[in-house]
Structure 1
Amino acid sequence: MESPTSTLRRRARRAAVAVLAVALPLTGATAHSAAAQPAAPTAPALPSDPGDSGKFAKLNAQISKLDKAYGGDLAKLRDAQYAAKKALQKSSSLQGDLNDARSLVAQMAATQYMTDGQGPAISMLSSSDPSDMLSGYTLIEHISQNKSAKVAQIGKLVDEQATARRQAQQKITELQKEIKDLSAQKKRIEALVKKYKPQSPSVGMGGVTPRMMNVKTVIDQEEGPFPTIGCVRTTGDPQDHGTGHACDFMVTTGGVMATGSAKSHGDATAAYAIAHASALGIKYIIWRQRIYDLRSPGWRMMENRGGVTANHFDHVHISVF
């Protein structure tokens, strides 16, 4: 009859070998030891990328075609594209961390099994409850002592990665919907683009197009003065600014959030631009992390870009056809 100690050691060895079978290639002495042990059922590993990157690449190609057909810079669509890209990057990063964590735990299990050890990691691996292996304090403490802080919370990584994957898939679905909605309005948008014949960037006017110059003049006359108006730039992600088709009407300076009278000034400027968009050839307006695109009318929230100016809380952005 086996003693309780020998029973625990036998269970620990089987658990350790099961982890190795999933996380590490078995070679040499380890492979021989694994062959000597009864096979243990293992849960199938989740795919690191269930087709999400491929879907995203196809959607990017569709966006490029729509940009050309619909008058350039579909900022509303680009915002959904930005959100999907950010979510996919987070999911991929967490998957890498999770793979590293599982590999390290497997290596620890292998080391203790090969030395016939009965350390804290083996004790946790031999538990009949799988959740103990993921979140047990003893294993976390042991990993930490081995300078492996990056993978101290494997259970948390599992949950975070699953959440990130769901969010990435949701953002891709939202991007697909945006493309579908714009495609459904093809005739109306093509007529709108045709109405405002494309204009070329100019010289001697600061590089803005004649239409943008007219909008700048009218908005300044009707809603100005503004602390400053910025139009042409080529740094960062300039989009319409780079071709002279956009201006930023600042209502505060120094990256200060617009409140009180400054916010009212921005509200009035955005409202005027929407009301006179047809006459002036305005394509879209961005104000306070929202976008109003005349090709798909209505205010829509945008992704958080991480700052007052990046999120348009201190200026009204106006783009023209």
Structure 2
Amino acid sequence: MRVVTVGASAVAAVVLSAVLGFALLLAVLAGSAFDQAGASGAADIDGLPAPAPSADSETGCVRDDPTTRGCLTPTTLHVLESIYATFGEPGGIIRSATCWDPHLQNPTSDHPKGRACDLFPTRAGVFPTGDELAHGWQLANWLRANAGPLQIKYLIWQGRYWDPGTTDRDGAWGVPYTGGGIYDPTDATGGHFDHVHVSVAR
């Protein structure tokens, strides 16, 4: 019979490897749970302030858009300013924002009317994960919770569409977004996975 002796350093290395492997497994599982919570729209908005209602009665595209060289309606500008007051200006939780756009590919869009904004928690064209995904859900849930005072017409985020008359479906937020025959709903931008789209009623 052959006796093999193992030094203390070898045993320590094996134990350390097992511990690190277990820690890595826990981190992966925790990350997956976090992403699933983010994907389901379970981001917490407790403690975030409620916005003041828009007090301006004008409805035209008459205000300068701070995100482009275009214009916004007073209600849209109020929504944008309320978002910045709650979540900070672009460069933080909101990586970037763009509102007015000619939207030549979709002239019926609210963007050329100055009644819509796109808010990116991640880079354009990237499917968000982790904190960026959670931040996007937090923004979307806050907008939804304050749709009345902000006069929100509809929201699109993570391949889902919601308006004040929509009932949640499939155990998720809103209903599946189809792209309306114009956008690819599986694309990061076309499906609104990389940005929260908010349209206002006036």
Q: TM-score, normalised on structure 1?
A: 0.37
Q: Check if 1:272 corresponds to 2:113.
A: no
- Secondary structure at 1:217's aligned position in 2? helix
1:308 aligns with 2:177: no
Distance (whole Å) between structure 1 residues aligned to residue 95 and residue 135 of structure 2: 11
SS in 2 for 1:279: helix
- The residue correspondences of 1:190-269 to structure 2 (distance < 5 A) are 199-205=59-65, 206-224=70-88, 225=92, 226-235=94-103, 236-237=105-106, 239-269=109-139
Could you tell me how far 1:198 is from its partner in structure 2? 7.2
For 1:113, the equivalent position in structure 2 comes to: none
Any idea what SS the aligned residue of 2:142 has? helix
3-state DSSP class of the match of 1:296?
A: coil
Q: Please state which structure has a larger fraction of its residues in strand.
A: 2
* Gap regions ≥5 residues in structure 2: 1-55, 169-173
Aligned counterparts of 1:204 and 1:261: Cα–Cα separation in 2: 31
User: How far is 1:254 from its partner?
Assistant: 3.5
1:200–1:303 distance in 2 versus 1, CA, 3 Å: same
Partners of 1:204 and 1:308 lie apart in 2 by 28
- Displacement of 1:204 after TM fit? 3.5
- Deviations for 1:99-132, whole angstroms, at most 9, x for unmatched residues? xxxxxxxxxxxxxxxxxxxxxxxxxxxxxxxxxx
Q: Percent identity?
A: 33
Could you tell me how far apart the structure 1 residues matched to 2:167 and 2:72 are? 25
**Equivalent residue of 1:314, what SS?**
coil
| Cα contact 1:281–1:320 (8 A) shared by 2 | yes
CA shift, 1:295, in A, is 3.4
**Could you tell me how far apart the structure 2 residues matched to 1:272 and 1:245 are?**
18
1:319 aligns with 2:187: no
Q: Within 2, Cα distance between the matches of 1:246 and 1:292?
A: 14
Alpha-carbon shift at residue 277 of structure 1 (Å):
0.8
Q: 1:204 to 1:222 in 2, by over 3 A?
A: closer
Question: 2: distance between equivalents of 1:212 and 1:297?
Answer: 24
Contact 1:223/1:268 (<8 A) preserved: no
Runs of 4+ in 1 over 6 A off after TM superposition: none
Q: Using the alignment, how far apart are the partners of 1:228 and 1:214 within structure 2? A: 17
CA distance in 2, matches of 1:203, 1:269: 23
1:254–1:276 Cα change, 3 Å: closer
Q: Which residue of 2 aligns with 1:90?
A: none
Measure how far apart 1:296 and its partner are.
3.4
Residue of structure 2 in register with 1:145 after alignment:
none
CA distances 1:46-74 after superposition (whole Å, capped 9, x unpaired): xxxxxxxxxxxxxxxxxxxxxxxxxxxxx
Task: Give SS of 2:137's match.
Answer: helix
The structure in which a higher percent of residues are helix is: 1
Matched, 1:290 2:154: no
Partners of 1:279 and 1:290 lie apart in 2 by 22
Deviation at 1:215, TM superposition (A): 0.4
Structure 2: how far apart are the matches of 1:286 and 1:311? Answer: 8
Distance in 2 (alpha carbons) for counterparts of 1:231 and 1:295: 24
With over 3 angstroms needed to count, the CA separation of the structure-2 counterparts of 1:240 and 1:297, relative to structure 1, is farther
The gaps in structure 1 that reach 5 residues or longer are 1-195
